[in-house]
A and B are shown apart, each in its own frame.
Chain A
Amino acid sequence: MAKTSQAILTLAGIDKTYDGAARPALDRISFTVAPGEFFSILGPSGSGKTTLLRMIAGFERPDVGRVLMDGADITDVPPFRRDVRTVFQSYALFPHMSVLENVAYPLRMAGARKAERLAKARDCLALVSMGDFAARLPHQLSGGQRQRVALARAIVCRPRVLLLDEPLGALDLRLRQQMQHMLVSLQRELGIAFVYVTHDQGEALSMSDRVAVMSEGRIAQLGTPREIYFDPASEFVAQFVGRSNLLPIEAAPHEGSLTALLGGRALKGVAVPRSGPARMAIRFECVRLAEAGHPPGEACAIEGVVEDVLFLGNALEVNVRCGDHNIIAAVPTLGGEGYLPGRPVRVMFDPGQATVFHG
Chain B
Amino acid sequence: MADIASDMSLSAARPVRFHRISVLGWPVYAWFIALVLVPNLLLIGTSFLRTSNGFIVFDPSFASYMRLWKSASFQFLLGKTLATSFGAAALGCLIAYPMAYYAARVVQKNRSVLVLLVIIPLWISLLMRVFAWRMILGQNGILNSALVGSGLLDQPSEAFLYTGFSVLLTYTYISIPFCFIAIFTALEKIPHALIEASQDSGASAWQTFRHVVWPLSRPSVAIGFSLAFLMTVGDYVTPSMVGGIDGTMIGMVIASQFGIANNWPYGAAIAVCLMVSVGLILALVLWAGQTRGVLTGDEGARPPVASHRLTSGQRLLRAGGRVLFALPYLFLYAPLAIMVLMSFNDSSVQAFPLSGATLRWYAELAGNQPMLAAVRRSLMVGFAVVLVSGVAATGFAFALHYGRVRRARFFEFALAIPVAIPGVVLGIVMVLATQLAQIPSGVGRIVIGQASFVMPVMLMIILARLRRLDGALLEASMDSGANHWQSFVHVLFPSIRGAIIGGALLGFTLSADDVMVTLFLAGTSPTLPIWVWNQMRFGFTPSVNAIFTLVGVGSLLAILVCNRLIFHAQARGRGGEA
Q: Interface on A for B, CB 8 Å cutoff?
A: 18-19, 57-61, 78-81, 84-86, 88-98, 105-106, 108-110, 137-139, 153-154, 157
Q: How far is the CA of A57 from the CA of B199 in the complex (A)?
A: 10
Q: How far is the CA of A153 from the CA of B198 in the complex (A)?
A: 11
Question: Pick the contact of B307 from A19, A90, A108, A157 — CB < 8 Å?
Answer: A19
Q: A18-B305, A79-B199, A79-B200 are in contact. Are A90 and B291 (CB under 8 A)?
A: no
Q: A80-B203, A106-B202 are in contact. Are A59 and B293 (CB under 8 A)?
A: no
Question: Pick the contact of A95 from B199, B294, B307 — CB < 8 Å?
Answer: B294
Q: Which residue of B lies closest to A165 (CB)?
A: B193
Q: What residues of A have a CB within 8 angstroms of the CB of B299 in the complex?
A: 90
Contact assessment for A153 and B201 in the assembled complex, using a CB-CB cutoff below 8 Å? yes
Tell me what chain A mostly uses at the interface: helix, strand, loop, or mixed.
Answer: loop
Tell me what chain B mostly uses at the interface: helix, strand, loop, or mixed.
Answer: loop
Q: Which residue of B lies closest to A78 (CB)?
A: B199
Q: What residues of B have a CB within 8 angstroms of the CB of A98 in the complex?
A: 292
Is B45 engaged at the interface, CB distance under 8 Å to the other chain? Answer: no
Q: How far is the CA of A78 from the CA of B308 in the complex (A)?
A: 13
Contact assessment for B291 and A96 in the assembled complex, using a CB-CB cutoff below 8 Å? yes
- Can you list 24 pairs linking A and B with CB atoms under 8 Å apart? A58-B199, A61-B307, A61-B308, A79-B196, A80-B203, A81-B202, A85-B200, A88-B197, A90-B299, A91-B297, A92-B191, A92-B196, A94-B194, A94-B293, A95-B295, A96-B215, A96-B216, A105-B198, A105-B211, A106-B201, A108-B211, A137-B294, A139-B296, A157-B201
Q: Please indicate which of the listed interface residues B201, B292, B297, B307 has the most CB atoms of chain A within 10 Å of its own CB.
A: B201
Contact assessment for A57 and B202 in the assembled complex, using a CB-CB cutoff below 8 Å? no
Q: What residues of B have a CB within 8 angstroms of the CB of A80 in the complex?
A: 199-204
* Mask of B200-232 contacts with A, CB within 8 angstroms, 1/0: 111110010001100110000000000000000
Q: Which residue of B lies closest to A95 (CB)?
A: B293
Contact assessment for A90 and B191 in the assembled complex, using a CB-CB cutoff below 8 Å? yes
Given A19-B307, A59-B196, A139-B293, 12 more contacts at CB 8 Å? A61-B307, A84-B200, A92-B193, A94-B198, A95-B293, A96-B215, A96-B292, A96-B293, A105-B201, A109-B204, A139-B296, A157-B201
Min Cβ gap B163→A in Å is 42
Q: Which residues of B, 267-317, contact A by the 8 Å Cβ criterion? A: 291-297, 299, 305, 307-308
Q: What residues of B have a CB within 8 angstroms of the CB of A138 in the complex?
A: 293, 296
Q: Please indicate which of the listed interface residues B291, B293, B295 has the most CB atoms of chain A within 10 Å of its own CB.
A: B293
Contact assessment for B294 and A139 in the assembled complex, using a CB-CB cutoff below 8 Å? yes
Q: How far is the CA of A19 from the CA of B303 in the complex (A)?
A: 13
Q: A95-B293, A139-B294 are in contact. Are A109 and B194 (CB under 8 A)?
A: no
Q: How far is the CA of A98 from the CA of B296 in the complex (A)?
A: 14
Min Cβ gap A8→B in Å is 17
Q: What residues of A have a CB within 8 angstroms of the CB of B216 in the complex?
A: 95-96
| 4 pairs of A and B residues whose beta carbons are closest in the complex | A95-B293, A92-B197, A106-B201, A92-B193
| Size class of the B contact interface (CB-based, 8 Å) | 20 to 34
Q: How far is the CA of A12 from the CA of B293 in the complex (A)?
A: 42
Q: What residues of A have a CB within 8 angstroms of the CB of B293 in the complex?
A: 94-97, 137-139
Q: Which residues of B, 87-122, contact A by the 8 Å Cβ criterion? A: none
Q: A95-B296, A96-B292, A137-B293 are in contact. Are A109 and B212 (CB under 8 A)?
A: no
Q: What residues of A have a CB within 8 angstroms of the CB of B215 in the complex?
A: 96
Q: What residues of B have a CB within 8 angstroms of the CB of A105 in the complex?
A: 198, 201, 203, 211
Q: How far is the CA of A98 from the CA of B201 in the complex (A)?
A: 16
Q: What residues of A have a CB within 8 angstroms of the CB of B194 in the complex?
A: 92, 94-95
Contact assessment for A86 and B197 in the assembled complex, using a CB-CB cutoff below 8 Å? yes
Contact assessment for B202 and A157 in the assembled complex, using a CB-CB cutoff below 8 Å? yes
Contact assessment for B199 and A92 in the assembled complex, using a CB-CB cutoff below 8 Å? no
Q: How far is the CA of A98 from the CA of B305 in the complex (A)?
A: 30
Q: What residues of A have a CB within 8 angstroms of the CB of B191 in the complex?
A: 90, 92
Question: Pick the contact of A18 from B201, B212, B292, B307 — CB < 8 Å?
Answer: B307
Min Cβ gap A14→B in Å is 13
Q: How far is the CA of A80 from the CA of B196 in the complex (A)?
A: 9
Question: Pick the contact of A86 from B196, B212, B291 — CB < 8 Å?
Answer: B196
Min Cβ gap B573→A in Å is 24
Q: Which residue of B lies closest to A139 (CB)?
A: B294
Contact assessment for A110 and B202 in the assembled complex, using a CB-CB cutoff below 8 Å? yes
Contact assessment for A109 and B203 in the assembled complex, using a CB-CB cutoff below 8 Å? yes
Contact assessment for B200 and A57 in the assembled complex, using a CB-CB cutoff below 8 Å? yes
Q: Which residue of A lies closest to B216 (CB)?
A: A96
Q: What residues of A have a CB within 8 angstroms of the CB of B202 in the complex?
A: 80-81, 106, 109-110, 157
Min Cβ gap B187→A in Å is 14
Min Cβ gap B219→A in Å is 10
Q: What residues of A have a CB within 8 angstroms of the CB of B308 in the complex?
A: 61
Q: What residues of A have a CB within 8 angstroms of the CB of B211 in the complex?
A: 94, 105, 108
Q: What residues of A have a CB within 8 angstroms of the CB of B200 in the complex?
A: 57, 79-80, 84-86, 154
Q: What residues of B have a CB within 8 angstroms of the CB of A81 in the complex?
A: 202
Q: What residues of A have a CB within 8 angstroms of the CB of B198 in the complex?
A: 94, 105, 109
Q: What residues of B have a CB within 8 angstroms of the CB of A153 in the complex?
A: 197, 201
Min Cβ gap A85→B in Å is 6
Min Cβ gap A91→B in Å is 8
Q: What residues of B have a CB within 8 angstroms of the CB of A139 in the complex?
A: 293-294, 296
Min Cβ gap B306→A in Å is 9
Q: What residues of A have a CB within 8 angstroms of the CB of B307 in the complex?
A: 18-19, 61
Q: How far is the CA of A94 from the CA of B297 in the complex (A)?
A: 10
Min Cβ gap B215→A in Å is 5
Q: Which residue of B lies closest to A21 (CB)?
A: B307
Q: What residues of B have a CB within 8 angstroms of the CB of A59 in the complex?
A: 196, 199
Q: How far is the CA of A138 from the CA of B211 in the complex (A)?
A: 16
Q: What residues of B have a CB within 8 angstroms of the CB of A92 in the complex?
A: 191, 193-194, 196-197, 297
Q: What residues of A have a CB within 8 angstroms of the CB of B207 in the complex?
A: 109
Q: Which residue of B lies closest to A103 (CB)?
A: B201
Q: What residues of B have a CB within 8 angstroms of the CB of A79 in the complex?
A: 196, 199-200
Q: Which residue of A lies closest to B190 (CB)?
A: A95
Q: What residues of A have a CB within 8 angstroms of the CB of B204 in the complex?
A: 80, 109
Q: What residues of A have a CB within 8 angstroms of the CB of B197 in the complex?
A: 86, 88, 92-94, 153
Min Cβ gap B93→A in Å is 19
Question: Pick the contact of A88 from B193, B212, B294 — CB < 8 Å?
Answer: B193
Min Cβ gap B263→A in Å is 50
Q: What residues of A have a CB within 8 angstroms of the CB of B294 in the complex?
A: 95, 137, 139
Q: Please indicate which of the listed interface residues B198, B200, B305, B308 has the most CB atoms of chain A within 10 Å of its own CB.
A: B200
Q: What residues of B have a CB within 8 angstroms of the CB of A96 in the complex?
A: 215-216, 291-293
Q: How far is the CA of A12 from the CA of B418 in the complex (A)?
A: 65
Min Cβ gap A103→B in Å is 10
Q: Which residue of A lies closest to B203 (CB)?
A: A109
Min Cβ gap B254→A in Å is 40
Q: Which residue of A lies closest to B307 (CB)?
A: A19
Min Cβ gap B552→A in Å is 38
Q: How far is the CA of A110 from the CA of B203 in the complex (A)?
A: 8
Q: Please indicate which of the listed interface residues A57, A59, A84 has the most CB atoms of chain B within 10 Å of its own CB.
A: A59
Q: Which residue of B lies closest to A89 (CB)?
A: B193
Min Cβ gap A26→B in Å is 13
Min Cβ gap A146→B in Å is 8
Q: A90-B297, A109-B203 are in contact. Are A137 and B292 (CB under 8 A)?
A: yes
Q: Which residue of B lies closest to A85 (CB)?
A: B200
Q: What residues of A have a CB within 8 angstroms of the CB of B203 in the complex?
A: 80, 105, 109
Contact assessment for A60 and B305 in the assembled complex, using a CB-CB cutoff below 8 Å? yes
